[in-house]
Amino acid sequence: MRVDQSSTDILSLVEKIRDGRLDIQPDFQRGQVWPEPKKVRLIDSILREWYVPAIHIVVNDDLDSEEVLDGQQRLQAVLSFMADEFAIDGRIEPTDDRISALHGMKYSQLPDRVRARFNRFPISIIRLRDYTSEEPGELFFRLNQLTALTAAEQRNALVGAPRNQVRFVVDHFEHDLGSRSIGFSNARMNFDDAISRLAVVLEHGSLSAKVTASSLERRYRHGKPFPDEIMRSISQALHAIASLASEGKVAARLNKASLFSWLYFYVDTYSPNAHFLPDFSSYYLIFENMRSGSRKSIDDQQDLLLSSLPTSQRGAFNESLSIFNDRASSRVNDVTSVLLRDLCLNCGIAILYPGTVDWQIYERRSTIRDSIERLGNLPSDVGERAMEEALLAKRWELAVETR
């Protein structure tokens, strides 16, 4: 890889972006996520004529194209300021009389001499040429290892089959969602993170596999594609959840942990060969609305189903909701929490729809029946309850590992 260094002024750089000669957001970049205070501080640094880190640009001389590798957020901040989207804060420490006099002004309101000085501010440019296909992404990964990028955002620069597969299904999921929300967004590549973890778990064939940021990074670097069957199953599960969200029938309060569990449950239970299972949407709506404390969109038939449960079964179902909530809001990545959430979903469907447990989980039936009984008799003491939950998780781990 050949590296050329130069300098250009802000106005020339912005004009290049506006003319389409510089792509500020290629597909390995993240979306615009800088909060306004951070943008304001960058503009303050420029007005003080302080140092601003270099912009890294990938140059393809054959295609006569240039793409921003690193520095997108800084350029977005400059563009936003020059579009009058926010004003100068003249109170930032250490105070400077020149900046204080500009407090509250937007770009178009600046005195001519100040605006001219801002436009002339030099930006260091580092251009990358004669590189191999993996070198720009690797450099982006290394440049951002010590910044506030999330692990998922860093992995997104490791362009290869795993990253591209995850991006593909996430793009389709976001398209299916449209303007609807499932409770959180993909602003920091949260969807990518949950889906890549799920793909690794399914590839391992073990729900108890501990997936860390380091192991995901190694999997991305390996470059081998995830099996097509796994990615198709994940896409089907995502489509099912997006469809329910788009219909507005469920209280949206999923997070990465609960999304992961619902996706795994769907892939694990609702295979193309599954028989005699209740409609996924019916179960999802009941479980999610009940655990959120809402009876929104629970129809008369579903309400009758809930009210007709025997006292012990109703107590076990409520405990499933409670444990799922607890294990989705804390200790979300530990194996015990992952197993308990999955057990709660399996017990919940067995309680609401007895006799519909599919042949695929025949060997789990005794564990599910025993777990439902234990859920209906959980001790109130915190210590004893924690021990009982750990036992439930261990028994479920053995059951799912022997299927």
pLDDT in tens, 66-75: 999 989 999 9
Dist. CA 80–CA 85, nearest whole Å:
5
The fraction of the chain above a pLDDT of 70, given in percent, is 88
pLDDT of 356 above 70: no
Does 236 share its domain with 354? no
Does 23 share its domain with 155? no
Question: What domain range includes position 21?
Answer: 2-149
Number of domains in the chain: 3
Among the candidates 121, 149, 177, a domain finishes at 149
Among the candidates 149, 178, 202, a domain finishes at 149
Buried-exposed string 219-247: b where 16+ CB fall within 10 A, e elsewhere: bbeeeeebeeebbebbbbbbebbbebbee
Q: Is 48 helix (H, G, I), strand (E, B) or coil?
A: coil
Among the candidates 248, 265, 294, a domain finishes at 248
Tell me what pLDDT residue 359 has: 44
Q: What angle do CA 228, 240, 351 make, to 5 degrees?
A: 110
Residue 199 CB burial class (10 angstroms; 0-12, 13-18, ≥19): buried
* 361 pLDDT tier (thresholds 50, 70, 90): low
Does 313 share its domain with 387? yes
Q: Give 364's DSSP letter.
A: G
The predicted model gives 109-127 an average pLDDT of 96
Does 176 share its domain with 225? yes
Average pLDDT, the chain: 87
